[in-house]
C-alpha cells in the first residue's frame, strides 16, 4: 500500500504537484493528464529520484525522506523513466546485468538467470549479445522495461512505457503489465488512453498538480454519459467534435440537430473532464 499525502513540488514558479493526496494498492493504476499536469513529477517522487518540497510518501511502510528507508524502498521498486537511458557500447545483457548488480542481485548465477528472464519477458532474448547502439528505438524501450522488471519489484513505476512500441509490442506489453498487476502495484503514466482502458483498473486524471478524477475507466467514461452524440452534419457550435471513420460527426456536449446519443468511451470522459476543468 502506498499513501501519498499533501505532496507538493514546485519548479521555480511552476507548481508541478499541489498538495496531492492519493492511495495506491495492488493493481494497475493509470495516470492521465495533459502535458505539465504533474504525472512525471509524481512518478519521480514515487521512484525516490525527486524529493518533494512538502508532503509525504509512505510506500510499504517506508519513508523515502529517510536515507536508509529510501534505499530499502528502492530495493522494492522498478522504475522506467520517461526518457530511459542506456549505454550504447554495452550489450543488452551487460546493461541489464549492470542494473541488476545495482539492484543488489549479488549472486551471480541467480542474477544472470534473472537477467535472462526479464530479457525473455520483453522478447529480447535474441538480442542479448547485441550492442545497445544497434537496437531499434522500440527495442531500447523494451530493454529499459526489462531493467524495471528486475527482481520482481512490489512497486512498478512506468512513465510512458509504450512510446516507440509497435502495435504487436504494445499488446505484449499490456499482457505483461496486466499479469504483473495481479500481484503488485503498477503505476503508469501515458497519453495512450486506449492503454488505460485496456489495462487499468483505476485511472487518475491529473491537472495542475492535482487529481481531477480518481476511479475506474468505466466511471471515467461515465463522466460523458448522455453527452456524446453522433450526427450526419457537423454542429454549428464551437464545441468539441470530430469526423469519424464512417463519415459521421461525434460531438461532446450539447447535441447538434438530428443527433443520436452514442455510448461514451474513456476518451470521451477524459476530454469532457478536462473541458469542464478548463
Residues forming contacts to other proteins in the complex (CB under 8 A) are 44, 47-49, 71-72, 74-75, 77, 79, 81, 83-88, 94, 97-99, 101-104, 106, 108, 111, 144, 147, 157
Q: Looking up cell 495533459, which residue turns up?
A: 34
Q: How far is the CB of 75 from other proteins (least distance, A)?
A: 5
Residue ranges of alpha helices (H) inside the chain are: 39-46, 67-74, 92-102, 108-121, 137-149, 167-180, 193-199, 217-222, 266-277
Q: How far is the CB of 234 from other proteins (least distance, A)?
A: 44
Nearest CB to other proteins, comparing residues 48 and 162: 48
Nearest CB to other proteins, comparing residues 11 and 87: 87
* Buried/exposed 218-246: b ≥16 CB within 10 Å, e otherwise: eebbbbbeebbbbbeeebeeeeebeeeee
Q: How far is the CB of 124 from other proteins (least distance, A)?
A: 17
101 close to 121: Cβ distance less than 8 angstroms: no
Nearest CB to other proteins, comparing residues 31 and 220: 31
Q: How far is the CB of 73 from other proteins (least distance, A)?
A: 9
Nearest CB to other proteins, comparing residues 72 and 163: 72
Nearest CB to other proteins, comparing residues 54 and 108: 108
Nearest CB to other proteins, comparing residues 9 and 103: 103
State the DSSP code for 255.
P
Give the contacts of 134 (CB within 8 A, at least 6 positions apart): none
Q: How far is the CB of 263 from other proteins (least distance, A)?
A: 40
Nearest CB to other proteins, comparing residues 68 and 278: 68
Q: How far is the CB of 15 from other proteins (least distance, A)?
A: 21
How many other CB atoms sit within 10 Å of the CB of residue 20? 23
Nearest CB to other proteins, comparing residues 95 and 200: 95
- Secondary structure class of 4 (helix, strand, coil): strand
SS3 for 6-27 is: EEEEEECCEEEEEEEEEEECCE
228 close to 261: Cβ distance less than 8 angstroms: yes
Q: How far is the CB of 47 from other proteins (least distance, A)?
A: 4
Q: How far is the CB of 21 from other proteins (least distance, A)?
A: 23
27 close to 201: Cβ distance less than 8 angstroms: yes
Distance, CA of 115 to CA of 29 (rounded, Å): 26
Amino acid at each position: 500500500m502506498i499513501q501519498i499525502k499533501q505532496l507538493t513540488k514546485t519548479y521555480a514558479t511552476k507548481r508541478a504537484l499541489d498538495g496531492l493526496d492519493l492511495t495506491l494498492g495492488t493493481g494497475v493504476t493509470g495516470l492521465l493528464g495533459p502535458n505539465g499536469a504533474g504525472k512525471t513529477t509524481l512518478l519521480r517522487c514515487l521512484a525516490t529520484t525527486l524529493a518533494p518540497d512538502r508532503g509525504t510518501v509512505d510506500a510499504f511502510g517506508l519513508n523515502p525522506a529517510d536515507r536508509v528507508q529510501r534505499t530499502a524502498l528502492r530495493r522494492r521498486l522498478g522504475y522506467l523513466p520517461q526518457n530511459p537511458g542506456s549505454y550504447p557500447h554495452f550489450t543488452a545483457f551487460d546493461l541489464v546485468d549492470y542494473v541488476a548488480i545495482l539492484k543488489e542481485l549479488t549472486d551471480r548465477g541467480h542474477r544472470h538467470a534473472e537477467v535472462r528472464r526479464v530479457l525473455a519477458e520483453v522478447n529480447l532474448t535474441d538480442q542479448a549479445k547485441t550492442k545497445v547502439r544497434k537496437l531499434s528505438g522500440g527495442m531500447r524501450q523494451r530493454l529499459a522495461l526489462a531493467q524495471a522488471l528486475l527482481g520482481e519489484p512490489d512497486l512498478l513505476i512506468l512513465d510512458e512505457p509504450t512510446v516507440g512500441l509497435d502495435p504487436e509490442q504494445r499488446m505484449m506489453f499490456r499482457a505483461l503489465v496486466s499479469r504483473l498487476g495481479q500481484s503488485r502495484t503498477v503505476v503508469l503514466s501515458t497519453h495512450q488512453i486506449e492503454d488505460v482502458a485496456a489495462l487499468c483498473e483505476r485511472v487518475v486524471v491529473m491537472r495542475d498538480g492535482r487529481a481531477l478524477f480518481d476511479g475506474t475507466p468505466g466511471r471515467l467514461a461515465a463522466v460523458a454519459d448522455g453527452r456524446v452524440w453522433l450526427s450526419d452534419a457537423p454542429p454549428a457550435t464551437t464545441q468539441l467534435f470530430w469526423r469519424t471513420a464512417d463519415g459521421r460527426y461525434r460531438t461532446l456536449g450539447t447535441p447538434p440537430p438530428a443527433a443520436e446519443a452514442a455510448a461514451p468511451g474513456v476518451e470521451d470522459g477524459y476530454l469532457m473532464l478536462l473541458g469542464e476543468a478548463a
